[in-house]
Amino acid sequence: MTFKDIFTSNFLENVTSVSVLDMLLTIALAFGLGIFIFYVYKKTYRGVMYSSSFGVTLIALTMITSQVILAVTSNVVLSLGMVGALSIVRFRTAIKEPLDIAFLFWSIAAGIILAAGMIPLAIIGSVVIGLILLFFVNKKSHKNPYIVVIACADHDAETQAMAYLQAQTERCIVKSKSAQKGMIEINAEIRLKDDNTDFINTLSGMNGVNSAALVSFNGEYMA
């Protein structure tokens, strides 16, 4: 059979019926896996502002993907039309957290695998992925860094402030320094020995220190 014969025959019109039981089972399992993915996302989120709508999107994405794959596998003509329709879809929402991309692909993959009938792979794979994410994302292999911003009046005050800061912290690295007439501003990354931050009060009260601020830093850095 040639490619032309395929299009002239009734091959493209063949429809494989999907039973109601298969539909309900796929949708129920997709909903369950979506809830699990949402739970893992909520427990591993480390961003600034948590978005509950994104978690609900993960559930909906898993269910929608499973329905699309069920429809595609039941009709060859529908599958060709679905490819053309989805090819023109463009998403403009920016992904702020790199880990969010993994959750989006996880939801899509779970829906596809479920609709393909590989239920054990979808369930076991999702459980393994969820446990790995919970372990590695919540594991703290380093102490949280902070940024200290110090405004000093002169060089002597700067030397005294930095010596005190290095003595009170486990690690202190100067990230930037700006100087102008009558003021020196220093930005230093530090690692605390414990959760006590009272040293910043003493630092701000030193002679020649105009101000001292402690800011939590959660950007990218080398541990």
64-95 pLDDT, tens per residue?
888 888 877 766 556 655 665 555 556 566 67
pLDDT at 2: 55
Half-sphere exposure of 101 (CA within 13 A, CB side): 5
- Rounded CA-CA distance 113/102 in Å is 16
Contact 137, 99 (CB under 8 A): yes
What single letter denotes the amino acid at residue 79? S
- How do 169-180 and 209-216 pair as beta strands? unpaired
- pLDDT < 70 regions, the chain: 1-17, 47-48, 74-94, 139-143, 217-223
pTM > 0.85: no
pLDDT at 79: 60
- Rounded CA-CA distance 183/187 in Å is 13
pLDDT at 10: 52
| Residue 122 neighbours by CB under 8 Å, 6+ apart | 29, 33, 110, 113, 114
pLDDT at 101: 86
